[in-house]
Each structure stands twice: as C-alpha cells, then as structure tokens.
Amino acid sequence: MTDGLREAADVRPCRSLLSVPAGSPALFEKAARSKADAVILDLEDSVAPDSKAEARASVIAGLRDVDWGDRIVCLRINACDTPFMYRDLIDTIEQGGDRLDAIMIPKVNSPAEVAVADMLASQVEAAVGRQRPLGLEVLIETAAGLAAVDAIAAASPRIQALHLGLGDFAASLGARTTVIGGQSSDYGVLSEATDDNRARAFHPGDIWHYALARLLVAARALGLRAIDGPYADFRDVEGITSLARRSAAMGFDGKWAIHPSQIDPINRCFTPTEAETSRARAILEAMEAARRDGRAAVTLDGRMIDIASIKQAVALIGKVDRISSKEK
C-alpha cells in the first residue's frame, strides 16, 4: 500500500457522474461533451464477460484519444473476486496514459480488497513512471460492505470518495423494490388509530435513509466525497429530481446519471441556489462585522449565528466558487 497521510480529495465539482458502458466507445465523445462533472467508464455490470477484453481496449484508446476536458474521469473496474480485475488495472495504467483520474472498485466488502487494488496500482504506477497517483473510489453495494464502511474508508490514502450502489445493495438486503435507486410504496407507517373510524393516513418513508446516512458519516469523518448512486428510470425526471434533492439536502456531493437526460436535474439540485448563496455571504459579512467589534456571535434576520454558522457558510461558498470556476 502507499504510505503517508491521506491527500485531500479532488476539489473539482462532482455533482453529476455520467456512467458510460465501456463497450460502447461511440458514447465516449458524447460523454466528454456533456455537462457532467465526472464520467465513469464502466467495465463491470454494463459489459458481458466475453466482451471484457474488447471493452478494456476501448477504454485505453478512449483515454488516449478523447478530449475529456477538465472533468473527472473514473474507471469502474471489475470486482476483486473476478478474473478480470487485475488485468483491468494493469492494462489501463500501463497503456492508458495519464488522463485517468481514479479507479472505482465495485462491491467492496472489506478493507483487504482496497489494499489489493492499492498495492497493485502502486506497483504498476512505479513500473511505468506515472507521476500523478490514481485516486480510488469505493462502491458500497452489499450489507457486508456497509457494515465495514468505516474500516473500508480508512483502508488507503488513495481513497477519494464513497459511493452507494443501491441495486446490488437492495438484492443483498432482500429488499422488495422494483427500480434501482427508487423507493417502495409499502415503506411507511400509518397514523395512530382513532375512535371515530376515520381513514388512517399513510406516511411514506425513505427506504434508503439509513444506508445513505451511514455512508455519508463514514465519508465525512475522513474528508471524502459522498456520492449517491443511480436511479434506473431515466424517463422519470420528477423522480431523479426528488432523489437528488434529498441527497443534496443530506450533504452528499453528487449523484450518478445513467442517461444524459439526468445530468441537468442532478446539477441543478447539487448547485446552491441564489438565495442560499446570498444568505451565506450575508452570514460571513455579519460575522466579519462582529469580529471587528469584538463580538463572538451576532443575530441576522432574527436568528443567532455563531462559529458553526461560519463553517456552514464557508463550505457553501467554497462549493459555489468551484462550480462557478468550472462553468466559466
């Protein structure tokens, strides 16, 4: 494994991550011209076993030939328990040039799997003289992975982000769902029973809230990005918007898109609004005035703000500035 302290995660915006099948190189140019902050070239679920080698060659060519702009480019390799993983890493690092930013490891169940990828990447990078170490992105997709997420997140200083993949995760739990990343109409509670025999209201819940919150806490504890996974019904604009707003409100950095039509709704949801930005700037201005007057806290629009308010405002303005810089 690599030595030393964890480096800061890539600071580029990562609101929308467009997943592109590695076996469809005709889509690479379209992805590179899209408004997605990141592109995931997928060698795993979207590629049949007999087509893995051909898709890997397409990725290598695409990394060398396509102008990916300033977006993050990530390669989703095959899982560590498959016969494809080692060749995915070796061939891509040896032949793909320096444009690749990160390797995504799917279905991670233990820190040992991260250590294997880290060690192998380190050796190949040293052999080819790669100057910029690859980051690692960890995809949590099983009950075992979520149970060990703290240890997994700390397994390598290369790790930059934790992702939650709800399709395989639902299967791992035995959840009764029909759409990857969607909700269940059965998940909720009834209002309390009353004596007047009125119909009891049903209050739906978020079936994935615990898993999302658990992964988010593990990521933030180590300064990592937290990424929500895909929503498979790409025709449902209202659905992807609702799910992205939920994740953004929780504190996630971004969400997967499996179709270009999902990029704009995701980007909007993960971009602070003008009202939020104005409020954050007003907080910073008010606190600066309080500092000059020797006060530790101040009221703004009838609400108390203090050092915690500053931290929130600074984080939001930093996000706005990074997004604005990318979109210039």
pTM: 0.89
pLDDT at 256 over 90: yes
Average pLDDT over residues 77-105: 97
How deeply is 81 buried, as exposed, middle or buried, from its count of CB atoms within 10 A (0-12, 13-18, 19+)?
exposed
pLDDT at 18 over 80: yes
> How does residue 326 score in pLDDT terms, banded at 50, 70 and 90?
confident
Do the strands 303-305 and 298-300 form a parallel or antiparallel pair, or are they unpaired?
Answer: antiparallel
Residues 6 or more apart whose CB falls under 8 angstroms from that of 322 comprise 11, 12, 13
Residues 6 or more apart whose CB falls under 8 angstroms from that of 43 comprise 22, 52, 55, 56, 59, 75, 76, 77, 78, 84, 88
pLDDT at 5 over 60: no
Average pLDDT over residues 148-168: 97
The length of the chain, given as a count of residues: 328
pLDDT computed for residue 296 by the predictor: 66
Residues 6 or more apart whose CB falls under 8 angstroms from that of 312 comprise 280, 283
pLDDT computed for residue 321 by the predictor: 86
